[in-house]
Amino acid sequence: MNKRKVIIDTDPGIDDALAIIAALKHPDLEVLGLTSVAGNKGIQFTTDNAARVLTYFDSGVKVYRGATNDYLSLKAGAGERADEAGFVHGATGLGSVDLPINSDMYADQNAIDFILETIQANPGEVDIIALGPVTNLALCVKKDLETMKQVRSIHSMGGGVHRGNRSPVAEFNYWFDPTAVDLVFTELGPHVPIWMIGLDVTHQGIIDMNDLTFMKMAGGELGAMLYEMMQFYVNTYWHQNGYMGAVIHDLMAMIGYIYPDMYSEIYHANLRCVSDSELAKGQCIVDLHDQFKWEKNAYVPMKADIAFYKEQTMAILFGEEAAEDYKKRVKSLG
């Protein structure tokens, strides 16, 4: 069986890290490279954190440094995004975990050229999993739309139809660079299947304290490391949402890419993203029911099989035996 060729566009971030790990461990995926983008943290943090995850797995995959700010800021000649304090993902972006970096993980080529050249070399074969702001993809579309039309699919974690997290109406990734979102979906979406994996579906998949404890107890060294990494994230969700656990948005996007049958209530719709209003910045306007007959440019799942999601997460991260053990223990809890 031929492996699926994947580029992961990412801004690690704790949830990005788990998604990357799942992709690196899945036997049917060939991860061609990681491309970093400013988002959860500034570009140096996100590039370094991608390199840390790659170093941990000694994978041979490299990280390609990408956009340092949002699309409009870059076009205006602004410098790098000012880094935030890290109240969601911790000071470095990976919670309290301090993973080493092998400098060999850094590629010399920039993210935009890597994406375009990789697609040109593999037309119709490359899927892009976008786990952060889609600034790199917007820059690629503007530089060479015809090459980007040869992408097999794009799976973007971001946005939401009925909810937000950065504001009442906006999810963080799409809020950070709404111009890039609108550009990618409007110019590329009619030609390439683009999936928006938004908060409506990701918030159905809370990884609770039983799940995290299983990771720690049954997942060996990797499970213990992920449990430690997740503690900062869990604390954030406790104070912000009242959850006893956390939503690992990007992990769900990755598992859903690998197993698309996990999703249901999938709409082929027109999606636009608000960029010209401070109050509604990053809000997704999605015509789910084709009321206005606008050109369709997005696939939007609204439901997911959460039991399947969790079982496959355990299987990919820790093996089939661990997944069977997990299912038995969940069943015993009723």
The yes-or-no verdict on residue 186 having pLDDT over 60 is yes
Beta strands 4-10 and 29-36 are parallel
DSSP 35: E
Q: Yes or no: say if 247 and 197 are a contact pair by the CB < 8 Å rule.
A: no
> What pLDDT is attached to residue 246?
92
Structure tokens at 87: 């109240």
Please list the active-site residues.
11, 249
The yes-or-no verdict on residue 87 having pLDDT over 80 is no
Domain count, the chain: 1
Q: Tell me: the pLDDT tens digits for 130-180? A: 999 999 999 999 999 999 999 999 999 999 999 999 999 999 999 999 999
Report the b/e string of 123-160 with b at 16+ CB within 10 A: eebbbbbbbbbbbbbbbbbbebeebbbbbbbbbbbbbb
Helix (H, G, I), strand (E, B) or coil at 311: helix
Residue 221 CB neighbours (<10 A):
8
Confidence of residue 89 (pLDDT cuts 50, 70, 90): low
Supply the mean pLDDT for the chain. Answer: 94
pTM for the model stands at 0.96
Q: Tell me: the pLDDT tens digits for 49-63? A: 999 999 999 888 999
Range of the domain at 309: 4-332
Calculate mean pLDDT across residues 270-281: 96
The yes-or-no verdict on residue 185 having pLDDT over 50 is yes
Confidence of residue 323 (pLDDT cuts 50, 70, 90): very high
56 beta partners = none
Helix (H, G, I), strand (E, B) or coil at 71: helix
Give phi and psi for 244, each to the nearest 5. -100, 75
CATH (domain of 160) = 3.90.245.10
**CA separation for the pair 133, 275 (Å, rounded):** 14
Q: Tell me: the pLDDT tens digits for 36-52? A: 999 988 999 999 999 99
Confidence of residue 85 (pLDDT cuts 50, 70, 90): very low
> What pLDDT is attached to residue 1?
65
**CA separation for the pair 188, 101 (Å, rounded):** 35
Unique residue bearing structure tokens 């990005």: 16
